Amino acid sequence: MLNIVLFGPPGAGKGTQSEKILKKYNLVHLATGDLFRLHLNNETQLGLEAKKYMNKGDLVPDEIVISMVEDKINKSSNVIGFIFDGFPRTINQAVALDNMLEKKNIPIKQMIALKVEENELIKRIINRSKTSGREDDKSIDKINNRIQVYNQETKPVADYYKKHDKYSEVDGIGVIDEIFLKLCSKIDELT
C-alpha cells in the first residue's frame, strides 16, 4: 500500500501535483477541501456546516473532518494507496488517521512537503481567485488568515511525521513538471 500525505501551505500546489501523482501511480485522491466543496455544491448538511468555517478561511472542526475521511476510506475498495491532500491539518487529525489506518494495517508511508515561501503563496492564490470561484480565495484578509492558521495549527503536523521518520520535502517553486519529477523520485524511493 502506497499511502502518501502531500503536505504544504495553501497555494503550495498540492491539488495540482496530486492530480499528476494519482494518475501515474494509480492512487486514490483524498482531498478534504475538494470533498467539502462537493458537499457545499450539493448543499448537504455537512456542506452547510463546513461552509461556515471554510468561507472565513478557518479550519472545519476535527470531528467533522475525521468522520468524513473515515467514511471515504471505508467506501474505497481495491485501492493501491491513497494520496492525502489537505489532510491531516491538525495533530488530532494525524493521530486519528494513524488509528484508522492501523486498524486496516495500511500505514502512511511518507509525508512529502512542498516548500513555498509566503509571498509566492499569496501571489498564487490571488491569481487562482480569478478562476476558482472560491469564497476563501477572494480577499487578502481570508488568504492571510489561512496562512496564519496553517502556521499555527497545521505546521506542527510536519513535526509529528518527522518524529515518526516519515518526512521528506521538495522545493515547490518552479515549473510544474519539474516539481512533479522531484516528487516522483521521492515516491519511487518508497516503492
Residue 37: active-site member: no
Residue type for 190, please?
L
Residue 146: active-site member: yes
Q: Where does this chain touch ligand ADP (CB under 6 A) — which range of 30-38, 105-113, 156-164, 168-176?
A: 30-38
CB 25 within 8 A of CB 55: no
Phi, psi of 71 (to 5 degrees): -60, -45
In the complex, least distance from residue 168 CB atom to ligand ADP, rounded to whole angstroms = 20
Burial of 4 (0-12, 13-18, 19+ CB in 10 A): buried
Residue 128: active-site member: yes
Q: Where does this chain touch ligand ADP (CB under 6 A) — which range of 16-24, 51-59, 155-163, 179-187?
A: 51-59
Catalytic residue among 51, 109, 128, 182: 128
Q: Site for ligand ADP (CB under 6 A): how many residues?
A: 18
Other beta carbons within 10 Å of 154: 23
Q: Which residues are catalytic?
A: 14, 89, 128, 134, 146
